[in-house]
Structure 1
Amino acid sequence: MGPYRIGWVDPLGRRPLTRLATAGLAAHVFFELGAGVGMPTASVLGPVPAAGLWALAAGTVWRAAGTRPASGDVVFAVCNGAGLAAVIAHLQGWPHRRTRLGLPWLRECEGLGPDLMRYYNPILYVSGAAALGALLRENRSAPRYLPLLALGLVPLFIVGQHAEHWRLREMARRRPGWWNRRLRQLD
């Protein structure tokens, strides 16, 4: 170790792709909240508790991904698999078109509207690509079947996303707020 490495700490820690996937998932749900369509679990918990839960979960996974030994790979494989499944569910469960490369590109999602898709799609793709990369490169001590099991969640996530969107639209109609302002425009 040279003199330039004394005291240096890798800011991304042991699992940089897992951390990037976690940051991407957090960006995704907080983008939805900031855009005025709510966020996952906001229809059940309310916007502030849901945001607190998402921030706590993302912060916990972020920190653990940088500090936990290889024996923690099972947990991170499940997290990355579920994150990848959530991205795939978005890309398959909402109106989309195909890019020149044949990839799905959302036209609308959860009330965000076409004007925000140029920001939202890259967030999803970065998060999904990081989760896939982490599954292939970082979670090596975890059983290989775990991500495949997580991909089985895609149909459930699609149903869950649409149910949550319906509940959030109903809440926006009954109890308008800053956090669901875009959903009020849909009715």
Structure 2
Amino acid sequence: MRPDRATRRPLTRIATAGLAAHVFFELGAGVGMPAASVLGPMPAAGLWTLGTGTLWRAAGTRPASSDRIFAVCNGVGLAAVIAHLRGWPGRRTRLGVPWLRECEGMGPELMRYYNPILYVSGAAALGALLRENRSAPRYLPLLALGLVPLLIVTQHAEHWRLREIAGQRPGWWNRRLRGLG
């Protein structure tokens, strides 16, 4: 393939869609979404929509010389999934993989949907790093994985702020967090 030709990156697109599904599932479940405690639910949703659409389109049209950008995005996406699996209460399945019992105010009744969303997103990001982002330096996703501890702290801080907001200004988007703040 010539270096100036567009690369399709289907796994990067799946990882992008999975990350969007993850954050919009949180919003739909009534626990907010990342940045909602700072921006509000609608601006945060707009920002996530814009970012997802931009990354989705770019992943299908940008040349291989853009692999650095996608390696960072896939690395951060994988780090976010790992941070969820390490930072929230879970258990091990019969296969030995982590399975969340609850997360960010969502109880066990939603985990049968939420866990697969996380796993599809994380597996696609990992696959993209191994198969699609080959021209990017290998240290980029490793640096992104170094964000896991910071992402755990950030997730819990955002959850705490969202709980406070739910107590002060209840709405449809934070309904599961009422009474937890």
TM-score using structure 1 length:
0.92
Match of 1:160 in 2: 154
Report if the CA contact (8 A) 2:167-2:179 is conserved.
no
Q: Which segments of 5 or more consecutive residues in structure 2 lack a partner in the other structure?
A: 1-6
Match of 2:132 in 1: 138
* Aligned amino acid, residue 173 of structure 1: G
Query: CA RMSD of the aligned region, Å?
Result: 0.8
1:20 correspondence with 2:14: yes
Query: Whole-Å Cα distance in 2 between the matches of residues 185 and 174 of structure 1?
Result: 10
Match of 1:177 in 2: 171
Q: Return the match for 2:141 from 117, 127, 147.
A: 147
Match of 1:4 in 2: none
Equivalent pairs, count: 175
Match of 2:4 in 1: none
Q: Runs of at least 4 residues of structure 1 off by over 6 A?
A: none
Query: Whole-Å Cα distance in 1 between the matches of residues 22 and 45 of structure 2?
Result: 12
Cα offset, 1:86, TM superposition: 0.1
Q: Which segments of 5 or more consecutive residues in structure 1 lack a partner in the other structure?
A: 1-12
Task: Give me the identity figure in percent.
Answer: 86
Q: Return the match for 1:100 from 94, 103, 109.
A: 94
Larger radius of gyration: 1
Match of 1:117 in 2: 111
TM-score using structure 2 length:
0.95
Match of 1:71 in 2: 65
Query: Whole-Å Cα distance in 2 between the matches of residues 83 and 59 of structure 1?
Result: 15
Cα offset, 1:186, TM superposition: 3.2
Query: Whole-Å Cα distance in 1 between the matches of residues 80 and 137 of structure 2?
Result: 20
* Aligned amino acid, residue 142 of structure 1: A
Q: Secondary structure at the match of 2:34?
A: coil
